[in-house]
Structure 1
Protein backbone atom coordinates (compact mmCIF):
# COMPACT_ATOMS: atom_id res chain seq x y z
CA UNK A 1 0.00 0.00 0.00
CA UNK A 2 2.88 2.41 0.63
CA UNK A 3 4.42 1.60 -2.73
CA UNK A 4 1.27 3.01 -4.33
CA UNK A 5 2.26 6.33 -2.71
CA UNK A 6 5.92 6.10 -3.74
CA UNK A 7 5.79 9.21 -5.94
CA UNK A 8 4.66 11.27 -2.92
CA UNK A 9 6.91 9.57 -0.33
CA UNK A 10 10.12 9.22 -2.36
CA UNK A 11 13.26 7.37 -1.33
CA UNK A 12 12.90 7.65 2.44
CA UNK A 13 12.32 5.74 5.62
CA UNK A 14 8.54 5.61 5.87
CA UNK A 15 7.93 3.86 9.19
CA UNK A 16 9.57 1.71 11.80
CA UNK A 17 9.07 -0.61 14.74
CA UNK A 18 10.00 0.14 18.34
CA UNK A 19 10.62 -2.46 21.03
CA UNK A 20 9.08 -2.53 24.48
CA UNK A 21 11.63 0.07 25.61
CA UNK A 22 10.50 2.32 22.70
CA UNK A 23 13.89 1.99 20.98
CA UNK A 24 14.03 1.45 17.24
CA UNK A 25 14.18 -2.25 16.26
CA UNK A 26 13.90 -1.81 12.49
CA UNK A 27 12.74 0.58 9.86
CA UNK A 28 11.12 0.28 6.48
CA UNK A 29 12.10 2.50 3.60
CA UNK A 30 11.21 2.99 0.01
CA UNK A 31 14.28 2.80 -2.20
CA UNK A 32 13.95 3.26 -5.97
CA UNK A 33 10.57 1.52 -5.92
CA UNK A 34 11.54 -1.28 -3.53
CA UNK A 35 9.73 -1.79 -0.20
CA UNK A 36 12.92 -2.32 1.80
CA UNK A 37 12.82 -3.88 5.27
CA UNK A 38 16.54 -4.67 5.43
CA UNK A 39 17.14 -8.25 4.39
CA UNK A 40 13.47 -8.62 3.45
CA UNK A 41 12.39 -6.89 0.25
CA UNK A 42 8.80 -8.07 -0.05
CA UNK A 43 7.50 -5.90 -2.87
CA UNK A 44 8.54 -3.48 -5.58
CA UNK A 45 7.24 -1.28 -8.35
CA UNK A 46 8.88 0.11 -11.46
CA UNK A 47 8.70 3.89 -10.92
CA UNK A 48 8.08 6.09 -13.94
CA UNK A 49 8.43 9.84 -14.09
CA UNK A 50 9.69 12.30 -11.53
CA UNK A 51 9.08 12.08 -7.82
CA UNK A 52 6.67 14.61 -6.35
CA UNK A 53 7.90 14.00 -2.80
CA UNK A 54 8.23 17.75 -2.10
CA UNK A 55 4.66 18.64 -3.11
CA UNK A 56 1.94 19.47 -0.59
CA UNK A 57 -0.05 16.60 0.92
CA UNK A 58 -3.07 16.84 3.21
CA UNK A 59 -3.72 13.68 5.21
CA UNK A 60 -7.28 13.40 6.52
CA UNK A 61 -7.49 11.25 9.65
CA UNK A 62 -10.09 10.37 12.24
CA UNK A 63 -11.35 7.80 14.69
CA UNK A 64 -11.88 5.24 11.94
CA UNK A 65 -8.28 5.55 10.71
CA UNK A 66 -6.78 2.38 12.18
CA UNK A 67 -4.08 -0.23 11.77
CA UNK A 68 -2.82 -0.17 8.17
CA UNK A 69 -4.45 3.24 7.72
CA UNK A 70 -2.35 4.46 10.64
CA UNK A 71 0.82 3.02 9.11
CA UNK A 72 -0.06 4.90 5.92
CA UNK A 73 -0.54 8.10 7.93
CA UNK A 74 2.74 7.44 9.81
CA UNK A 75 4.55 7.28 6.47
CA UNK A 76 3.69 10.96 6.00
CA UNK A 77 4.54 12.09 9.57
CA UNK A 78 7.76 14.11 9.47
CA UNK A 79 7.48 14.70 5.71
CA UNK A 80 7.82 18.32 4.65
CA UNK A 81 4.81 20.11 3.13
CA UNK A 82 2.42 17.71 4.87
CA UNK A 83 -0.50 18.56 7.12
CA UNK A 84 -2.79 16.27 9.13
CA UNK A 85 -6.43 17.34 9.34
CA UNK A 86 -9.31 15.87 11.37
CA UNK A 87 -9.35 13.92 14.62
CA UNK A 88 -6.97 11.54 16.41
CA UNK A 89 -6.71 8.07 14.88
CA UNK A 90 -8.08 4.95 16.58
CA UNK A 91 -4.77 3.85 18.10
CA UNK A 92 -3.99 0.45 16.57
CA UNK A 93 -0.32 1.33 16.03
CA UNK A 94 1.33 -1.96 16.85
CA UNK A 95 3.15 -4.54 14.75
CA UNK A 96 1.51 -7.94 15.09
CA UNK A 97 1.99 -11.56 14.19
CA UNK A 98 -0.21 -14.62 14.56
CA UNK A 99 1.07 -17.50 16.67
CA UNK A 100 -0.33 -21.00 16.13
CA UNK A 101 -1.12 -22.81 19.37
CA UNK A 102 -2.01 -26.45 20.06
CA UNK A 103 -5.46 -27.70 19.08
CA UNK A 104 -5.66 -25.36 16.07
CA UNK A 105 -5.91 -22.28 18.25
CA UNK A 106 -4.29 -19.05 17.13
CA UNK A 107 -3.21 -16.02 19.10
CA UNK A 108 -2.44 -12.58 17.72
CA UNK A 109 0.64 -11.14 19.41
CA UNK A 110 1.93 -7.57 19.34
CA UNK A 111 5.63 -7.56 18.59
CA UNK A 112 6.36 -3.84 18.67
CA UNK A 113 5.10 -0.29 18.43
CA UNK A 114 4.78 1.36 15.01
CA UNK A 115 6.62 4.67 14.67
CA UNK A 116 7.13 7.39 12.09
CA UNK A 117 10.25 7.97 9.97
CA UNK A 118 11.90 9.78 12.89
CA UNK A 119 11.23 7.05 15.45
CA UNK A 120 8.31 8.88 17.10
CA UNK A 121 5.55 6.72 18.58
CA UNK A 122 1.96 7.93 18.80
CA UNK A 123 -0.64 6.02 20.78
CA UNK A 124 -3.08 7.87 18.50
CA UNK A 125 -1.83 9.98 15.60
CA UNK A 126 -2.86 13.59 16.25
CA UNK A 127 -3.98 16.05 13.58
CA UNK A 128 -2.24 19.38 13.08
CA UNK A 129 -5.65 20.98 12.58
CA UNK A 130 -8.48 19.56 14.65
CA UNK A 131 -11.84 19.34 12.91
CA UNK A 132 -14.45 17.24 14.65
CA UNK A 133 -17.83 16.05 13.42
CA UNK A 134 -17.99 18.41 10.45
CA UNK A 135 -17.84 15.72 7.75
CA UNK A 136 -20.19 15.89 4.80
CA UNK A 137 -20.01 12.73 2.73
CA UNK A 138 -23.01 13.73 0.59
CA UNK A 139 -21.41 17.03 -0.52
CA UNK A 140 -17.64 16.89 -0.11
CA UNK A 141 -17.26 20.59 -0.92
CA UNK A 142 -19.19 21.27 2.31
CA UNK A 143 -16.92 18.93 4.32
CA UNK A 144 -14.81 21.07 6.70
CA UNK A 145 -11.83 18.67 6.40
CA UNK A 146 -11.85 19.05 2.60
CA UNK A 147 -12.26 22.82 2.89
CA UNK A 148 -9.23 23.01 5.20
CA UNK A 149 -7.19 20.86 2.80
CA UNK A 150 -8.11 23.14 -0.11
CA UNK A 151 -6.97 26.17 1.93
CA UNK A 152 -3.66 24.39 2.60
CA UNK A 153 -3.15 23.66 -1.10
CA UNK A 154 -3.97 27.19 -2.21
CA UNK A 155 -1.73 28.99 0.33
CA UNK A 156 1.56 30.22 -1.09
Structure 2
Protein backbone atom coordinates (compact mmCIF):
# COMPACT_ATOMS: atom_id res chain seq x y z
CA UNK A 1 0.00 0.00 0.00
CA UNK A 2 2.82 2.38 0.84
CA UNK A 3 4.47 1.81 -2.55
CA UNK A 4 1.21 2.54 -4.36
CA UNK A 5 0.83 5.83 -2.47
CA UNK A 6 4.39 6.88 -3.35
CA UNK A 7 3.82 6.05 -7.01
CA UNK A 8 0.49 7.90 -6.96
CA UNK A 9 2.03 10.98 -5.29
CA UNK A 10 4.94 10.96 -7.73
CA UNK A 11 2.56 10.63 -10.67
CA UNK A 12 0.34 13.39 -9.29
CA UNK A 13 3.37 15.67 -8.78
CA UNK A 14 4.61 15.12 -12.34
CA UNK A 15 1.10 15.66 -13.71
CA UNK A 16 0.76 18.96 -11.87
CA UNK A 17 4.20 20.00 -13.09
CA UNK A 18 3.22 19.29 -16.71
CA UNK A 19 -0.08 21.12 -16.31
CA UNK A 20 1.70 24.18 -14.91
CA UNK A 21 4.28 24.08 -17.69
CA UNK A 22 1.67 23.99 -20.46
CA UNK A 23 -0.46 26.58 -18.66
CA UNK A 24 2.50 28.98 -18.60
CA UNK A 25 3.31 28.31 -22.26
CA UNK A 26 -0.31 28.96 -23.22
CA UNK A 27 -0.39 32.13 -21.14
CA UNK A 28 2.84 33.41 -22.74
CA UNK A 29 1.45 32.62 -26.19
CA UNK A 30 -1.74 34.58 -25.51
CA UNK A 31 0.26 37.50 -24.10
CA UNK A 32 2.56 37.47 -27.17
CA UNK A 33 -0.38 37.47 -29.59
CA UNK A 34 -2.14 40.29 -27.73
CA UNK A 35 1.08 42.29 -27.63
CA UNK A 36 1.63 41.79 -31.36
CA UNK A 37 -1.94 42.87 -32.13
CA UNK A 38 -1.48 46.01 -30.01
CA UNK A 39 1.85 46.77 -31.69
CA UNK A 40 0.31 46.38 -35.15
CA UNK A 41 -2.65 48.56 -34.14
CA UNK A 42 -0.43 51.35 -32.80
CA UNK A 43 1.83 51.19 -35.86
CA UNK A 44 -1.24 51.58 -38.08
CA UNK A 45 -2.38 54.59 -36.06
CA UNK A 46 1.08 56.16 -36.31
CA UNK A 47 1.23 55.44 -40.03
CA UNK A 48 -2.19 56.93 -40.83
CA UNK A 49 -1.68 59.98 -38.62
CA UNK A 50 1.76 60.70 -40.10
CA UNK A 51 1.42 59.71 -43.76
CA UNK A 52 3.00 62.93 -44.95
CA UNK A 53 6.10 62.37 -42.80
CA UNK A 54 6.26 58.73 -43.87
CA UNK A 55 6.16 59.65 -47.56
CA UNK A 56 8.78 62.32 -46.92
CA UNK A 57 10.96 59.71 -45.21
CA UNK A 58 10.61 57.31 -48.17
CA UNK A 59 11.48 60.07 -50.66
CA UNK A 60 14.54 60.91 -48.57
CA UNK A 61 15.67 57.26 -48.55
CA UNK A 62 15.15 57.02 -52.31
CA UNK A 63 17.06 60.27 -52.83
CA UNK A 64 19.95 59.05 -50.65
CA UNK A 65 20.08 55.75 -52.55
CA UNK A 66 20.24 57.39 -55.96
CA UNK A 67 22.81 59.89 -54.66
CA UNK A 68 25.30 57.05 -54.13
CA UNK A 69 27.82 56.03 -56.76
CA UNK A 70 26.99 53.11 -59.04
CA UNK A 71 29.51 50.87 -57.29
CA UNK A 72 27.96 51.59 -53.88
CA UNK A 73 24.46 50.95 -55.22
CA UNK A 74 25.53 47.65 -56.72
CA UNK A 75 27.25 46.71 -53.45
CA UNK A 76 24.08 47.42 -51.45
CA UNK A 77 21.99 45.42 -53.92
CA UNK A 78 24.34 42.42 -53.70
CA UNK A 79 24.47 42.68 -49.90
CA UNK A 80 20.66 42.78 -49.70
CA UNK A 81 20.15 39.95 -52.17
CA UNK A 82 22.80 37.69 -50.59
CA UNK A 83 21.41 38.32 -47.13
CA UNK A 84 17.86 37.30 -48.00
CA UNK A 85 18.23 34.96 -50.97
CA UNK A 86 21.90 34.00 -51.05
CA UNK A 87 23.59 30.69 -50.36
CA UNK A 88 23.78 31.18 -46.58
CA UNK A 89 20.36 32.77 -46.19
CA UNK A 90 18.59 29.44 -45.68
CA UNK A 91 20.06 29.12 -42.17
CA UNK A 92 18.85 32.59 -41.31
CA UNK A 93 15.36 31.82 -42.62
CA UNK A 94 15.27 28.59 -40.57
CA UNK A 95 16.21 30.43 -37.37
CA UNK A 96 13.76 33.25 -38.10
CA UNK A 97 10.89 30.85 -38.79
CA UNK A 98 11.65 28.66 -35.76
CA UNK A 99 11.66 31.71 -33.50
CA UNK A 100 8.46 33.04 -35.07
CA UNK A 101 6.68 29.70 -34.57
CA UNK A 102 8.01 29.52 -31.01
CA UNK A 103 6.84 33.09 -30.37
CA UNK A 104 3.26 32.20 -31.32
CA UNK A 105 3.33 28.86 -29.50
CA UNK A 106 3.01 26.79 -32.67
CA UNK A 107 4.76 23.46 -33.21
CA UNK A 108 8.13 23.75 -34.93
CA UNK A 109 7.61 21.24 -37.72
CA UNK A 110 10.88 20.66 -39.58
CA UNK A 111 9.22 19.64 -42.84
CA UNK A 112 7.19 22.88 -42.91
CA UNK A 113 10.30 24.93 -42.16
CA UNK A 114 12.35 23.20 -44.86
CA UNK A 115 9.62 23.55 -47.47
CA UNK A 116 9.19 27.23 -46.58
CA UNK A 117 12.95 27.83 -46.77
CA UNK A 118 13.11 25.99 -50.09
CA UNK A 119 10.44 28.15 -51.73
CA UNK A 120 10.59 31.65 -50.21
CA UNK A 121 14.20 32.56 -51.12
CA UNK A 122 13.59 31.41 -54.70
CA UNK A 123 10.49 33.59 -54.90
CA UNK A 124 12.31 36.56 -53.38
CA UNK A 125 15.25 36.06 -55.74
CA UNK A 126 12.92 36.04 -58.73
CA UNK A 127 11.13 39.19 -57.58
CA UNK A 128 14.43 40.92 -56.83
CA UNK A 129 15.84 40.12 -60.28
CA UNK A 130 12.62 41.25 -61.90
CA UNK A 131 12.87 44.55 -60.02
CA UNK A 132 16.49 44.96 -61.10
CA UNK A 133 15.85 44.27 -64.78
CA UNK A 134 12.50 46.03 -65.10
CA UNK A 135 12.71 49.11 -62.93
CA UNK A 136 16.38 49.65 -62.17
CA UNK A 137 17.40 49.12 -65.78
CA UNK A 138 15.01 51.88 -66.83
CA UNK A 139 16.33 54.28 -64.18
CA UNK A 140 20.06 53.60 -64.42
CA UNK A 141 21.50 50.97 -66.79
CA UNK A 142 24.98 51.56 -65.39
CA UNK A 143 23.90 50.21 -61.99
CA UNK A 144 22.70 47.01 -63.63
CA UNK A 145 25.95 46.52 -65.53
CA UNK A 146 27.99 47.22 -62.38
CA UNK A 147 25.77 44.80 -60.46
CA UNK A 148 26.45 42.06 -63.04
CA UNK A 149 30.19 42.69 -62.97
CA UNK A 150 30.31 42.62 -59.16
CA UNK A 151 28.10 39.57 -58.94
CA UNK A 152 30.32 37.45 -61.20
Please classify the TM superposition score into its range, dividing by the shorter chain length: under 0.3
Q: TM-score, normalised by structure 2?
A: 0.23
- Which structure has more RCO (C-alpha within 8 Å, separation ≥ 6)? 2
Structure whose residues are more often strand by fraction: 1
Structure whose residues are more often helix by fraction: 2
Flag the structure with larger Rg: 2
